A and B are shown apart, each in its own frame.
Chain A
Amino acid sequence: MKCCKCNVEMIEKKTTFEYLGHEANYPVLRCPVCGQAYVPEELAKSKIAEVETLLEEK
């Protein structure tokens, strides 16, 4: 995976996700220069979706 803007390989990094005033952290690929992230579909549909559902009922 490569960041096209910075032309560098992306590296895995713990990244903060925010929702409804809460935060959660997941390791995702990030550009070491500009910070651009890549959230794969599997992550969006599994862990992230589960946490979203929980937070919506908090």
Chain B
Amino acid sequence: MELAEYGVFADKCFRDTPPPCAAVCPLAYDVREFIRLMRRGSIRSAYKIIRSSLIFPSVIIRACPEYCRRTCVRGRLAGDESIDLKSLEQVCVDKMAGKDPERYNIPQKSARIAVIGGGLSGLACAYRLASYGYQVRVFEKTALLGGELPEGLDRQWCHDEITREFKAVRCDFGLETEIRSLAEIEADAIYIATGAGGADFREDGSSCAGIIMRGGASTGADLMESVQMGLTAAADMNNLLLTYRAERREDITLEVPERQADERYYSLHYDTSVAKEIPDKGAPEAFRCMRCSCSECYDVCPLMGKHKQYPKKICNEMIVTLKPNKSRRTAVRMIMGCTECHMCREACPENIDMGKCLQEARTDFYESGAMSPVFHDYWLQDMDFCESEEARLFAITDESRPADVLYFPGCQLSASMPELTVRSYEALQKVSENPAVLLGCCGVPAKWAGHRSDHRRVRDRIISDWERAGRPLVVTACPSCLENMKDMHPDMKVVSYYSFAAEHPEMAGIGGAAGQTGGVGHGARVKVIDPCSSVSEPGMAENVRGLLETAGYEIINNDPDPACCGFGGHIYNAVPALHDTFAERRIEDIADTDIIAASYCANCRDILAYRGADARHVLGMLLGTEETRRQPPELSERRDNRRTVRGILAHSEQEEDSGEDTGMEILISEELIRRMDRELILREQVNEIICEAEETGCKVYDEDDNVFISHKRFGAVTIWTVYSRSGDTVTVENVYLHRMTVREDA
């Protein structure tokens, strides 16, 4: 993706746009920040925020017709009431009452501004321009400032308040001075805000040099809109004067801009709870305000939470990090930390898919040559193993005719559950006329690593086999494979095993499988763990539930709730802590309970089981073969399992031990194996290091601990083993690795 495309990728994101209350207010300010400060009791800071927009807060608040109340999200919730923002502002203003505004030393500008009309519109314009350093004079025909004010407001009090606010700036007032013609005024710019029915000086406007702006109530604006116009006039005049040319003449009548609440805010999910303990200094109403903002993606994504960033900021980070020749790439962990679960897209009201954005970034990062190969090295090697002759298999029952179904169990299913892989194929064979099977990898590790060419290579091989099989329907037991394969070829139809089984009840019958009411489930309580990739096929989650119910399980969560277990994207090597966060979130309500966590993704099952949940694979539950709290196999076993499945389905004898006979027995404790698994170190790698060291003598002897130490480079890592030897028995004491290479020249 081009860098410029990252810049617009999340354009539709409305995070940080004004919430409905602010969107309809002519004098909107950063209401979220105001509320945050009011909650904390930081009154002075909160006051600064409202004053920058309201100019004369004490007067404006009293005159405010409360547009915000009509659009408050809280007010639209059943049985709830709009936030009383006006009273909150009043609390803030009351606490600052009587305090003179802060003065700043602003260099004076030479341009002269005249404001005709001492109402709130003209005064707002005058105040703002005076604060910029212009020489401002206000002409008011009456003796009091403030103009037409709502009933009940004391004009003298308002005049005094406004005068007090003007202490902060230099501004001249011509009270009881009525202007009859613009020719009476010498100014570079004039703002005409004479109020409803006031003179507009149109007849002599053309004879006046410089800038003329008209605004306020005479244009049909209400009081707050008039104030807004005054501020707009000030901003526009400032811009024009900064770029002013002597011959330039402007005669502008301001218009009231349209204001509309963004309807998307009303369909977001909000936390409506109110803080139980409100700090002494905090204002209670501030705790009722939900500070409405879209955080739908943020709430489902631990990655965004970790980096405290939203789509637009993430896109900016991508640009900064992917720029060529960067000395510091701040977003590397973010790029490498996306599990590509696409839950952000599912949650986003605009369906912005940050997973796609980060996938593109990962590919671009890899292709730039700056990505460490270690992040995905293990998984790419694992993919290569799946694609090797040891594990890959393509077989058609009757090769003389086209297959009707091609079973693609997925490489992680056969790695984790070899028997189940075989049994599930047997069930499928019952309903297929001429089934075919393809053991191998779908190529998603290459996609997740950003290796486009490797992904294409694996994809082309699958397509080639599928065509050789006569373009049959592809049935996969792995939702991740399904997600990856569904767009592989326009004519390739891929369905999940579960949807296929739901349509073929006759698949039931082996080991008390689906279709036998009251069958293998015996009413056991089950929480279905929907993998993130389950969204890739509409109805998959429902079909899984249907199959489990038919098999006699009691489902406690009928609504699909897809989420990521942390396996996706192979983020583990780059951000292990984030991987753990994903996993922990997935099991938080089922760990240490007797509820069965029924997963139809082998990766979710293994990750959940590793963390103590009674996680079982749905296929095993349907077939009645899944054990309680079965721990995932160790990494080397996973490869052996794939070899086993290949051997069974190819009807070939499987060699018991694929390694060479070294004449040594190498012992590794379970605890060390568990640590090696965490570091993605294979038992066979450790064996290889020790065998080589023993054969070549290239090892170090530590007399103190009576152990040998040897090492070897495997791909992107150097693995070290510490071991002792007694006769032909070798005991591995420790294994560790680092990513750097050591220069060992003599």
Contact = CB atoms under 8 A, between A and B. Distances in A.
Interface string B694-712: 0011111111000011010
Contact of B700 (A36, A41, A48, A58): A36
A17 B742 contact: yes
A35 B746 contact: yes
Contacts of A19: 372, 739-741
B720 interface: yes
A36 B743 contact: no
Given A1-B702, A16-B743, A33-B746, A49 B372 contact: no
Contacts of A24: 740
A51 B372 CA distance: 13
A34 to B, nearest CB: 6
B742 A15 contact: yes
Contacts of B734: 41
A39 B700 contact: no
B738 A4 contact: no
Nearest to A49: B738
A41 B699 contact: no
Contact of B738 (A20, A33, A39): A39
Given A38-B709, A56-B332, A57-B333, A48 B740 contact: yes
B330 A5 contact: no
A4 B702 contact: no
A58 B703 CA distance: 40
Contacts of B743: 15-18
Q: Chain A: interface secondary structure?
A: mixed
Given A18-B741, A39-B742, A48-B740, A5 B698 contact: yes
B327 interface: yes
B740 A36 contact: no
Interface in A3-58: 3-5, 10, 15-20, 24, 28-31, 33-39, 41, 44-45, 48-49, 51-52, 55-58
Contacts of B702: 1
Given A4-B708, A17-B743, A44 B328 contact: no
A3 B700 contact: yes
A33 B63 CA distance: 90
Interface string B515-538: 000000000000000000000000
Contacts of A15: 742-744
A31 to B, nearest CB: 8
Interface in B322-339: 327-330, 332-333
Nearest to B737: A44
Q: Chain A interface: which size bin?
A: 35 or more
A49 B574 CA distance: 12
B746 A34 contact: yes
A56 B372 contact: yes
B744 A37 contact: yes
Interface string B567-595: 00000001000000000000000000000
B740 A57 contact: no
Contacts of B653: none
A41 B701 contact: no
A19 B718 CA distance: 12
B701 A37 contact: no
A36 to B, nearest CB: 6
Contact of A10 (B327, B697, B700, B739): B700
A11 B178 CA distance: 98
Contacts of B698: 4-5, 36
B244 interface: no
Nearest to A19: B740
A58 B329 CA distance: 5
Contact of A5 (B699, B737, B742, B745): B699
B736 interface: yes
A4 to B, nearest CB: 5
Interface residues of B, number: 35
Interface in B652-710: 696-703, 708-709
A57 B328 contact: yes
Given A3-B700, A4-B699, A5-B699, A41 B720 contact: yes
Contacts of B709: 38
A20 B740 CA distance: 8
Nearest to A38: B700
Given A2-B701, A56-B332, A57-B328, A41 B740 contact: no
B720 A2 contact: no
Contacts of B372: 19-20, 55-56
A33 B330 CA distance: 43
Nearest to A23: B743
Contacts of B328: 57-58
A44 B743 CA distance: 15
B14 to A, nearest CB: 31
Contacts of A56: 332, 372, 375, 574
Contacts of A31: 746
Nearest to B746: A35
A19 B375 CA distance: 13
B699 A17 contact: no
A29 B702 CA distance: 12
A37 B742 contact: yes
Contacts of B701: 1-4
Contacts of B737: 44
Contacts of B330: 57
A45 B736 contact: yes
A22 B343 CA distance: 37
A15 B333 CA distance: 29
Contact of B740 (A4, A38, A51): A51
B322 to A, nearest CB: 13
Contact of B744 (A36, A45, A48, A52): A36
Contacts of A29: 700
B746 A17 contact: no
Nearest to B739: A52
B700 A18 contact: no
Interface in B611-665: none
A36 B486 CA distance: 51
A37 B332 CA distance: 31
A52 B329 CA distance: 14
Contact of B720 (A5, A30, A44, A49): A44
Contacts of A35: 744-746
Given A15-B742, A20-B372, 13 more contacts: A1-B700, A1-B701, A5-B696, A17-B741, A29-B700, A34-B746, A35-B744, A39-B738, A41-B734, A48-B740, A56-B574, A57-B329, A57-B332
27 contacts: A2-B703, A3-B701, A4-B697, A4-B701, A4-B708, A5-B699, A10-B700, A16-B742, A17-B741, A19-B740, A24-B740, A28-B742, A34-B746, A35-B745, A36-B698, A36-B744, A39-B742, A41-B720, A41-B736, A44-B720, A44-B736, A48-B740, A49-B738, A56-B332, A57-B330, A58-B327, A58-B329
Interface of B: 327-330, 332-333, 370, 372, 375, 574, 696-703, 708-709, 711, 718, 720, 734, 736-746
Interface of A: 1-5, 10, 15-20, 24, 28-31, 33-39, 41, 44-45, 48-49, 51-52, 55-58
4 pairs of A and B residues whose beta carbons are closest in the complex: A35-B746, A17-B740, A44-B738, A19-B740
